[in-house]
Amino acid sequence: MSYPYQIKSFHEYKTEYEKSIEDPAGFWGSIAEHFTWRRKWDEVVNWNFKEPKVEWFKGAKLNITENCLDRYLESRGNQPAIIWEPNDPEEHHRTLTYRKLHEKVCQFAHVLKNNGVKKGDRVCIYMGMIPELAIAVLATARIGAIHSVIFGGFSAQSIADRLEDAQAEYIVTCDGAYRGAKDIPLKSVIDDALIGNKTVKKVIVCTRTRTPVSMLKGRDLWWEEEMKQVEEKGLNYIEAEEMDAEDPLFILYTSGSTGKPKGVVHSCAGYMLFTNYTFVNVFQYQTGQIHFCTADIGWITGHSYIVYGPLSAGATSLMFEGVPTWPDAGRFWDIVDKYKVNILYTAPTAIRSLMGFGLGPLQNKDLSSLKVLGTVGEPINEEAWHWYDEHVGKKKCPIVDTWWQTETGGILISNLAGITPAKPSWATLPLPGVQPILVDEKGNEITEAVDGITSGNLCIKAPWPSIIRTTYGDHERCRVNYFATYENLYFTGDGALKDTEGFYRITGRVDDVLNVSGHRIGTAEVENAINMHAGVVESAVVGYPHDIKGQGIYAYVIYNGTHMDDQSLTRKDILQTVTRVIGPIAKPDKIQFVGGLPKTRSGKIMRRILRKIAEGEVQSLGDTSTLLDPGVVDEIRDGRL
């Protein structure tokens, strides 16, 4: 199998890029010809960033699962679609061929239908990284329902908020999940999330850990039992629901700088096209290769580069249940060796954490199958980049530094492996169809360079096929968050540099969003959680540089409650509250108790100062004259952790 739209040289990249800008409709229209449609489009693209309204392939009809499964049955039916490596290396791995995956997806689609799920209904999926998670995702899409996958590290409260926001009626979960040495009791978290919930009708529970679970009659059903009924009836096929190009495919919640997480909505056709196109081009995927993306399907990276991108390209996607450091820090290398992985796509935080174990875990591991390495989720520092290049890629594998976001659906800025140049810690050039622009605070394009480098807020001028369509149930929120900061531009929330060759380097968020181990967390969200703790008067949360996580969470807390004589215990109490409200991923690394917070006369917390103190840059706190009480700064600085 070949991909006619796979770019093969730097020269071709340049001509394709130009074509994509001059004639987006012609460019994407001709790529779309290589997919399976029930009906073709009337118009390739129609958009304005004012409302915003973006429509790709209007009038077209399709089902993404026909593009991921059915169209490969004949040519690749016996080839592996998903190879699954369990948490415990002693447990047997599983391989699902395209034929098997198609069958399982159809069967589970019947299960969903039998339980009342209809087109447009929201199905919340809260599972560990087992093949049934991919099956549940695809089965939901098969019948035109909307999946909302929630990462296993979120608390009951977070799930409850998401269920409420999405008005979800169905949940697919597991009894528990294995992650390294831990068992996570997923069903019990769901039970807590459902206290007081009024919308959920059915919960389907897949057996994994066989940890004891409560099963409510009439609401909770076992996956295996439901599947058995369908299998016994021989229901191995289900007609895919015919979807409009712009019908929603999924909701994925992500953190912003204000309020609760928002439900980013992606639609069927544009998302399919762009994840496929970027998968094939960025990683230069060749038929038969094994692609190993280490993300969890609970994040956008897993949606786009474990499930939809690879499967829509007929690729073999390796899915791993566990963590990089269990049973030891050689686990990734064992997996690469065992399955002869060709493409490894992971996060800088994982690389930095493995670097800390030295070269021992890499010894006697055959990594010669590797052809392409990738990183995603946060800026990669040069040290980690070189370690990855030398010790994993043995200096013969191009590294793609892929910049993108939940809202962008797929990779927007990245080198193409071995085709366009790489530059350590630079994401480099935009993909065809992507028009970045750096602007100042007022939205004016920055043209002035210092030593050949321009620096500004990263925006995108025109839509690519998988741009966010709306935030679920609240279109205004989508407009305000992404399209209102600068007129007629999509604002990414990131800052970036641009060099004379037009390469981009992403420097990090310029809003109040933290990036902790590649996970997005809003400072406001963490503050709200801390403030719910009894005795907390007020809090302010900032990020600080962390060797492994990229950013750590630093919280300044005014507390006048009980047990203040034991600060360390009170800190732990607060961490418990954060874990309950959001989940363990949002726990602050440091909590400093303070008497007051630096505020302006208008009552705004001056985060700039708090950030500097957390970063240890106490010499250069800048102008503090506008503060209501400059004295608090000295106190905070002296008590720094």
Residues that bind ligand 6R9 (CB under 6 A): 254, 299-301, 376-379, 401-406, 427, 492-494, 506, 508-509, 515, 520
User: CB of residue 300 vs ligand 6R9: minimum separation in angstroms?
Assistant: 5
Instruction: Tell me the closest approach of the beta carbon of residue 427 to ligand 6R9, in angstroms.
Output: 5
Nearer to ligand 6R9, 322 or 379 (CB): 379
In whole angstroms, the minimum distance from the beta carbon of 400 to ligand 6R9 comes to 9
DSSP 318: E
Of 235 and 376, nearer to ligand 6R9 (C-beta) is 376
β-bridge pairing 536-546 and 550-559: antiparallel
Is the Cβ of residue 144 or residue 153 nearer to ligand 6R9 in the bound state? Answer: 153
Q: Judged by CB, which is closer to ligand 6R9: 175, or 494?
A: 494
User: Of 113, 132, 214, whose CA–CA distance to 170 is shortest?
Assistant: 113
Nearer residue to ligand 6R9 within complex by CB, 284 or 301: 301
Nearer to ligand 6R9, 175 or 401 (CB): 401
Give me the least distance between CB of 605 and ligand 6R9, in Å please: 22
* Comparison of 435 and 492: residue with beta carbon closer to ligand 6R9: 492
Cβ contact 580:161 at 8 Å: no
If you ran DSSP here, which 8-state letter would residue 600 be given? B
CB of 303 to ligand 6R9, least distance (A): 10
- CB 613 within 8 Å of CB 637: yes
Burial class (CB in 10 A: 0-12, 13-18, 19+), 196: exposed
Task: Please report how close the Cβ of residue 252 comes to ligand 6R9 at its closest, in angstroms.
Answer: 9
The DSSP code for 481 is I
Please, which residue, 202 or 520, has the CB nearer to ligand 6R9?
520
Q: Name the residue nearer to ligand 6R9 (CB basis): 96 or 506.
A: 506
- For residue 293, the cross-strand partners are 345
> In the bound complex, what is the minimum distance in angstroms from residue 391's beta carbon to ligand 6R9?
20
Rounded to whole angstroms, the Cα distance separating 256 from 249 reads: 21
Quote the least distance from Cβ 411 to ligand 6R9, whole Å: 8
In whole angstroms, give the CA distance from residue 47 to residue 50.
9
Closest distance between ligand 6R9 and the C-beta of residue 230, in Å? 35
365 CB neighbour count, 10 Å cutoff:
16
State how far the alpha carbon of 572 is from the alpha carbons of 30, 262, 561, 619, 620, in Å.
57, 29, 14, 31, 32
DSSP 111: H
Nearest distance, CB of residue 524 and ligand 6R9, angstroms = 16
CA angle at 460 for the pair 456 and 463, rounded to the nearest 5°: 175
CB 37 within 8 A of CB 62: yes
Residue number, 86 or 270, with CB nearest to ligand 6R9? 270
Q: Cβ closer to ligand 6R9: 281 or 301?
A: 301
Confirm if 254 and 492 have CB atoms less than 8 A apart: no
CB of 520 to ligand 6R9, least distance (A): 5
Q: Is 27 in a helix, a strand, or coil?
A: helix
349 phi/psi in degrees, rounded to 5: -65, -35
| Minimum gap (Å) between residue 380 Cβ and ligand 6R9 | 7
Minimum separation from the CB atom of position 410 to ligand 6R9 (A): 9
Phi, psi of 288 (to 5 degrees): 95, -15
Q: How far is CA 82 from CA 125, 157, 310, 374, in A?
A: 19, 32, 10, 19
Pick between residue 243 and residue 344 the one whose CB is nearest to ligand 6R9.
344
Long-range contacts of 633-641 (CB under 8 A, 24+ apart): 633/598, 633/609, 635/594, 635/595, 635/596, 636/556, 636/592, 636/594, 636/597, 636/598, 636/610, 637/613, 639/592, 639/593, 639/594, 640/592, 640/613, 640/614, 640/616, 641/554, 641/590, 641/591, 641/592
State which residue, 16 or 378, has the beta carbon closest to ligand 6R9: 378
Do the Cβ atoms of 530 and 578 come closer than 8 Å?
A: yes
